[in-house]
Every structure is written in structure tokens, then in C-alpha cells.
Amino acid sequence: EPEVTQTPSHQVTQMGQEVILRCVPISNHLYFYWYRQILGQKVEFLVSFYNNEISEKSEIFDDQFSVERPDGSNFTLKIRSTKLEDSAMYFCASRSRGDTNEKLFFGSGTQLSVL
Amino acid sequence: AQKVTQAQTEISVVEKEDVTLDCVYETRDTTYYLFWYKQPPSGELVFLIRRNSFDEQNEISGRYSWNFQKSTSSFNFTITASQVVDSAVYFCALSETNTGNQFYFGTGTSLTVIP
């Protein structure tokens, strides 16, 4: 089965530093997402991206966050100045259509630790 | 308000026992979709099932079965003859027509199957 690939699997950074989390969605998918999961808590929606622009974002996704699809394959999440509370598992997801019945394919996640 | 509630935070069962994971959802949409995802200790999110709001037939897939009841807004998941490999966190999720870009996840139920 096709996979969503995320790199790195673990990222450790100092507070205030910028981080970029990378994702390669499934090749024929058109809708891309970032979710995060703080340890022991539920998976929370951050942002969705379609046709090279953000289609929806949550309250969590403030000015410190940005997303980009720099080429035809990568989808990145940038945190400009990390805070301790940004420590979480970040999941990238994609789906082929925006239909509500389409399942999301998730990557294996990037564990971000902000020290 | 929580759109998806998983009241059971943690469940432990002995191998070969049956276990039911509860999921209650809230939506005003008439067309919506419900999902279950499994998160094993390795951290990735694995799709298990998708159900649309017009199909209340119960579904069985091997040792897994799902009971969808619109009258009680519930979409419960039963594992029959549980195995150690079933140990994971299980998330119920809702996708609505009006907010089609998002999945709303419950807080998850951590299942431990004891050998």
C-alpha cells in the first residue's frame, strides 16, 4: 500500500529555534494535512492544504506556523520560534479527494522535543 | 463541546477476552462519516474502518466488529478473542460534510491485552 513518509522521525531543538518538519504525501493525492498529538492526548487538527494554499486552519496554527509545498512531492511544516508547548508528535496526512468519506493516510509522525 | 467522546481512557483485558471500545459523537450534519484508527506503540496511525451516516449495518472484519447506532450517536468497536498484538491506542474520528477538511478525533482508548 502507498505510504506517507515523514522525516525526521525525531527532532530535538532548543526553544526559540526554527524547525521544519518534512512530509512526502502519496503521489496522486491532492489534499494535505498536519495534525499533532501532545503526549497522551488526542490528535488535533492544525491545517489543511489544497491547490497550493491553506484551506483550513485551527486556532493552534498561529503566526509561528507555516506550511509549504515547495515542489511536486514535499509538504513541509515550519515552526518559526519553537516553544516548550510545541513538543508533540506531528502527523502529516493526505487524501486523494476532499470528500468527507475519504480516509486519511497518515505518516508515522515526527516526534518534536523542544528543550 | 467535544464532537467525539471516548469515555474509556484505558482498558486492560486478558488475552482471548472480548472487549468493546465506546465512541459517542455529536454532529448536526445529516451526512457524515465515522472512522476508527489504531495507534500501536510504534506511533503511526493505522486506518481500520470508515462508515457513512446512511449505513447502519454492523460490519465484521475478522475479529473486529463495529456497531453503528444513530439513535444513540454511537459507533462502538468490538475486538473478539483479543490478542497481545491488539494492544494499542484506538481513536474514533468524525468527518462532517460542512467541515470536510478536518477529522475530529476522540481522546483515544488505550487497550492493553495481557498474555
pLDDT in tens, A46-87: 999 988 999 889 999 999 999 999 887 899 999 999 999 999
What confidence category does residue B100 fall into, taking pLDDT thresholds of 50, 70 and 90? low
Show residues of chain A in contact with B93, CB under 8 Å: 43
Average the pLDDT over B59-68 and give the result. Answer: 90
Cβ–Cβ of A42/B47 closer than 8 Å?
Answer: no
- Which range of A49-58, A90-99, B17-26, B48-57 scores highest in mean pLDDT? It is B17-26
Show residues of chain A in contact with B50, CB under 8 Å: 101, 103
Show residues of chain B in contact with A43, CB under 8 Å: 45, 91, 93, 103, 105, 108
**Residues across chain B:** 115
Q: Render pLDDT for A5-50 as a digit per residue (tens, 0 to 9).
A: 999 999 999 999 999 999 999 988 888 999 999 987 888 999 999 8
Average the pLDDT over B93-99 and give the result. Answer: 79
Q: Which residues pair with B37 in a beta bridge?
A: B47, B91
- Which of B20-33 are b and which e, b meaning 16 or more Cβ less than 10 Å from the residue's Cβ? ebbbbbebeeeebb
Cβ–Cβ of B97/A100 closer than 8 Å?
Answer: yes
* Whole-angstrom distance, CA of residue B75 vs CA of residue B27: 13
What confidence category does residue B43 fall into, taking pLDDT thresholds of 50, 70 and 90? confident
A with B: how many residue pairs have Cβ under 8 Å apart?
Answer: 63
Give which of B63, B61, B72 is closest to B22, Cα–Cα. Answer: B72
* Whole-angstrom distance, CA of residue A112 vs CA of residue A110: 6
Cβ–Cβ of B43/A99 closer than 8 Å?
Answer: no
Q: According to the model, what pLDDT value does residue A42 have?
A: 84
